[in-house]
Amino acid sequence: MSRKLKIGVLISGRGSNLHSLIEATKTNNFPAEIVIVIANVPNITGLEIAKKARIPVQIINHKNFNEREFFEDELHGVLTKAKVELVCLAGFMRILTDHFIDLWLDKIINIHPSLLPSFKGLNTHNRAIESGAKFSGCTIHFVRPEMDDGPIIIQAVVAIEQNDTSDTLANRILVEEHKIYPLAVKLIATKQISIRNGQARLKNPIYPRSALLNPC
Ligand code: GRF
């Protein structure tokens, strides 16, 4: 097995996507390893998940920095020191500046619980339900300066049921999030993704498109 891609996971809370990534890295021949987990908030369950898996953790509390740039300097320093090659935002609730995103261009990905470009931002599930849309889902994308924007790597589709509440829809989408985040990391680590004309493309479509929509 060739060298594993070193990933750093940034979290702000529960950490269920972090958990799915950790579980994936334990599977045979998974081409990436988590070398550090960074939280901008102390005392969150995501940190406990990382510690239990014996992954190095670092808390960089944004409240300790007067300027966003100083916070990001620290973040960049820690990621660089850990030799991170791909940054995975997994419920990271902090807006990053253009400067930071430029430093990590095409090396930073995010998960959003909607079918982007629909329903960017917060309160996603309520807005999806109230729009009358029949489907929602989740998206893994490369990060760009505009929030929840950037080349889409994978999406999974989830039907919106007539009696869905924000919670019931969120729960069903979360199940799919936990499948597609590891898959996106695997595709990047095995160099299956290229970015052309602002779009992420599969170099060798080893997975049929249907498998990318609903991986299992
Ligand atoms: C997920 O729904 C993710 O899509 C969104 O924030 C939530 C984080 O959940 N960006 P968790 O911390 O991974 O459990």
- The domain that contains 216 carries what CATH number? 3.40.50.170
* Ligand 1 pocket residue status of 91, Cβ below 6 Å: yes
Same domain, 123 and 52: no
Same domain, 86 and 126: no
User: Does position 188 have pLDDT exceeding 80, yes or no?
Assistant: yes
Count structural domains, the chain: 2
Last residue of a domain, one of 104, 131, 159: 104
pLDDT at 216: 44
Give percent of the chain with pLDDT exceeding 90. 92
Last residue of a domain, one of 69, 86, 104: 104
Catalytic residue among 19, 112, 125, 178: 112
CA of 2 to the centre of ligand 1 (A): 30
User: Closest by alpha carbon to 125, among 136, 139, 140, 141?
Assistant: 136
Give the model's confidence band at 203: pLDDT under 50 very low, under 70 low, under 90 confident, else very high.
confident
CA distance 177 to 88: 13
Same domain, 117 and 99: no
Same domain, 142 and 199: yes
pTM given for the model: 0.94
CA of 90 to the centre of ligand 1 (A): 6
Same domain, 95 and 126: no
CA of 1 to the centre of ligand 1 (A): 31
CA distance 75 to 72: 5
Atom of ligand 1 nearest to the CA of 173: 2
* Interval 105-121 mean pLDDT: 98
141 near 152, Cβ under 8 Å?
yes
Last residue of a domain, one of 104, 135, 153: 104
Same domain, 147 and 208: yes
* Interval 166-176 mean pLDDT: 98
Same domain, 71 and 162: no
pLDDT at 213: 52
pLDDT at 211: 52
48: domain range?
A: 1-104
* Interval 122-135 mean pLDDT: 97
pLDDT at 209: 56
Same domain, 81 and 171: no
Q: What is the pLDDT of residues 6-62, one digit of tens each?
A: 999 999 999 999 999 999 999 989 999 999 999 999 999 999 999 999 999 999 999
CA distance 216 to 197: 29
Same domain, 80 and 133: no
Same domain, 115 and 55: no
User: Does position 214 have pLDDT exceeding 60, yes or no?
Assistant: no
User: Does position 215 have pLDDT exceeding 60, yes or no?
Assistant: no
* Interval 57-85 mean pLDDT: 97
* Ligand 1 pocket residue status of 137, Cβ below 6 Å: no
Using the structure block, give the residue that is written with the tokens 């409240």.
Answer: 63
CA distance 193 to 166: 33
Task: Decide if 125 is catalytic.
Answer: no
